[in-house]
Structure 1
Amino acid sequence: AKPCGGCLSREAHTQVYVFRQELFQEAKELLYRFLPQKIIYPHSCLTSLRAPLDIPIPEPPPKDEVETERQEKKEVLECGFLPGNEKVLSLLAMVKPEVWILKEKCILVITWIQHLIPKTEDEKVLERVNAVKTKVQAVQTTISKYFSEHGDAVAKASKETHVMDYQALTAYGEVKARVLDLKAFCAELYHIISTNLEKTKPSVY
């Protein structure tokens, strides 16, 4: 008798079929609802990102007031405790879960494509989706670095209050750019799937 190691039981075959259908349904949901919504969503986040840095700017010292380094003393900041930018922190609280979700959706698409190969006969598509996932992971690292870099900028702005470049540095952080990046990643993922939809259509429907 011929070995039947490659044969599936009826129960296993049913489980595989259910998995396939659920996977295709998730992919359709990603393409037709999730990605279009996430391309539009960042606009509402960015319109609320307005929070000027409130550090008092001192008057220039009189010309006859000259102090040596030994005479200089550290003074307590007039503005007191500098809290975190509440609007930026609120935006980050919304963005961080979105990054995780987008990374999971990339994994979903990768699984979907791997399931269809060699039907798609185009592994470059898989490479492009992997590239998007790598970019999304880089955003996670950037968000962690943001607090350190923005903290340094605020510290400089509060110490050297007369240097306006430091004030400007705190106003243009990386968060806005990262939100725009997420929008671009969603658009790129949407483009990858939609341009290859004809190759996968028989399996989706």
Structure 2
Amino acid sequence: MEGGVERGRGAGVGRRALGGGPGRRGESPECWAEAKLGLQEEPPPLSRLSPPPPVPPLPKPRKAVQVSSTAFAFPSRCPLQTPRAALSPRPAPTMATLRVHPEAQAKVDVFRKDLCSKEKAFDYDPILLHHLIQTENLLGSYFPKKIAELDAFLKEPDLNEANLSSLKAPLDIPIPDPVKEKEKEERKKQQEKEEKDEKKKGEDEEKGPPCGPVNCNEKIVVLLQGLKPEIKDVTEQLNLVTTWLQLQIPRIEDGNNFGVAVQEKVFELMTSLHTKVEGFHTQISKYFSERGDAVAKAAKQPHVGDYRQLVHELDEAEYQDIRLMVMEIRNAYAVLYDIILKNFEKLKKPRGETKGMIY
């Protein structure tokens, strides 16, 4: 009876696998449920499971073998031989550092504090300008004062001549008479025949112009005497501010360099102003050189009126250049004052409060 039930279950399972189901002939719903439950196999007991493979033992550490230096000695000429110093462990690499003597560092700190402090009194002596004038005092009092002084200098009547012909300096170069010149040339030819050529050339070089000495244009000289101290002052002030700005540049790092870029832009501006001011001295020297050549030509050839007019034209051109130089110096003070005042925080502390160190 039990065997029949088992065969029935097996037959039902086979028909289920082939696509059969309940409701066929010779089967009942109860038999179908029993056959369905028989498909779920029970897991094998733990006793039948195979044990895990054994873990291999760890290898024993080898003993350190001391090898004598003579065991593997190479001949003296062998290129593979390495000295004992090369086999010794090398020290870890360290960052390169610059050692500064304490006395030298103290002197540098004193100079930096002397230049950048706000406690020292302001001094107008140009000899002590580099050491006693601080940049904060320059921005607070000196620059505005110089701007006002130069603006008043530009309004003086000496620099506002409406008629430039009044600047002409008298040239005491007489115009020779043509008849007398011919007689003079004949006498000169007779003297050249009598005397030697070498002595004649030496005497001609020592002789001066027939009109005597020719003086400079006094009006131009007076204006230049008032301009030269201003050129000297602005040159020293630019040098002082440039030194102060270079001392504010922080250590080179990666990132947070916007303030450093502002410092570089201001430094470029001061460099261009310094170059322009240095050209004023060359311009003044060039004027005297060109005027001297024109006067010499006018004295050598007094009958040529163009050389005389050239001297007057050079005086008028120099007068206009003097006025432009005064305006350039005033504008240099104004531009430098404006750009430093607008970017003072970035110039003094380019990386903020935490990294505002001076190196």
TM-score between the two structures when normalised by the length of structure 2: 0.43
Distance 1:53 1:38 in 2: 30
Separation (CA, whole Å) in 2 of partners of 1:96 and 1:185: 11
Measured after TM superposition, the shift of residue 127 of structure 1 is 1.0
Deviation at 1:30, TM superposition (A): 3.4
Correspondent of 2:289 among 144, 148, 159? 148
Aligned CA distance change for structure 1 residues 203 and 136 (closer, same or farther; 3 Å): closer
The one-letter code matched in structure 1 to 2:217 is: N
Code of the aligned partner of 1:46: L
Counterpart amino acid of 1:145? Answer: K
- Residue pair 2:245, 2:263 contacting (<8 A) in 1 also: no
Letter in 1 for 2:167: R
Aligned to 1:121: 262
1:86 aligns with 2:218: yes
Q: State the 1:133 CA deviation.
A: 1.0
Query: Is residue 46 of structure 1 aligned with residue 178 of structure 2?
Result: no
Aligned to 2:337: 193
- In structure 2, the residue matched to 1:164 is 305
Q: Report the alpha carbon displacement of residue 104 of structure 1 after superposing the two structures with TM.
A: 0.7
Cα RMSD after superposing both structures: 4.0
Q: Is structure 2 residue 240 aligned with structure 1 residue 99?
A: no
Counterpart CA distance in 2 for 1:195 and 1:66 is 66
Q: Distance in 2 between matches of 1:72 and 1:154?
A: 27
C-alpha deviation, 1:79, in angstroms = 4.1
Displacement of 1:25 in angstroms is: 0.6
Which letter does structure 1 place at the counterpart of 2:214? L
Higher RCO (C-alpha under 8 Å, 6+ residues apart): 1
Q: Give the helix-richer structure, 1 or 2.
A: 1
1:86-145 Cα shifts (integer Å, max 9, x gaps): 222222222222211111121133234335554782412211111111121121223233
Q: Mean alpha-carbon deviation: is it higher for 93-102 or for 42-51?
A: 42-51
User: Which residue in 1 is equivalent to 2:97?
Assistant: none
Deviations 1:154-192 (A, max 9, x none): 112233333333223222246421442242133134124
Number of residues paired by the alignment?
Answer: 194
DSSP 3-state at the match of 1:121: helix
**Aligned mates of 1:24, 1:43 — CA distance in 2:** 29
Change over 3 Å in CA distance of 1:165–1:46 after alignment to 2: farther
* Counterpart residue number, 1:23: 135
Structure 1, unpaired ranges of 5+: none
Larger radius of gyration: 2
The residue identity in structure 2 corresponding to 1:58 is: I
- Between the aligned partners of 1:164 and 1:187, the Cα distance in structure 2 is 40
Paired with 1:19 and 1:99, the residues of 2 have a C-alpha distance of: 24
Of 145, 149, 156, the match for 1:37: 149
> Aligned residues: percent identity?
26
- Partner Cα separation in structure 1 for residue 329 and residue 170 of structure 2: 30
Unaligned runs of 5+ in 2: 1-99, 119-133, 189-203, 250-258, 349-359
- Relative to structure 1, the CA distance from residue 119 to residue 27 in structure 2 (aligned partners, 3 Å threshold; closer, same or farther) is farther
CA distance in 1 between counterparts of 2:293 and 2:266 reads 41
Taking the aligned partners of 2:208 and 2:143, their CA distance within structure 1 comes to 55
